[in-house]
Structure 1
């Protein structure tokens, strides 16, 4: 197999894995915590639907972006629940 075909096959493999993986699956012992993710460090899609993948948050502490944290630790980190984040998004 020549180098060009090998690179194309590797790229296709990575792309298909990413597309098939879909949104982040719920993680046992973890909560989604909104408003604490740093830019590029969110775990999946935001509330507004402007992106649908991990690592695409554009700003630090975006109230619509979330990341998984240990269950029960979100409030102590200054984060929001999904309902609180949705209510905040409606006000904006």
Structure 2
């Protein structure tokens, strides 16, 4: 009987620990979501290996851009500032709200 009690107690403790960790992470996730509401994805402004995400085929995500101002990688910037941020490869010379094909320098 003590074997069953020990197994049951261990399972209960594991579930309680899992629930506590989940609840502890929720405020941090909510804070990150709130911070990102004041930002927008801006394509073509990240430096090589400094993008926040989306760096095209053959890459995984953050930090994988292969060149400065890569047209299919983005970084978060303050809302409203993307199209005012310089980009050496953009057709307009500024960041874009969507991926683009880089112009030749």
Moved over 2 A (4+): none
Determine the structure 2 residue equivalent to 1:32. 41
Q: Which runs of 5+ in 1 are unaligned?
A: 1-24
2:36 aligns to what SS in structure 1? Answer: coil
TM-score by length of 1: 0.58
**Which protein is bigger by CA-based radius of gyration?**
2
Number of residue pairs matched?
A: 60
CA root-mean-square deviation: 1.8
TM-score by length of 2: 0.52
1:42 aligned to 51, 57, 78, which one?
51
Q: Which runs of 5+ in 2 are unaligned?
A: 1-32, 86-93
Determine the structure 1 residue equivalent to 2:97. 81
Q: 1 or 2 for the larger relative contact order (CA 8 Å, sep ≥6)?
A: 1
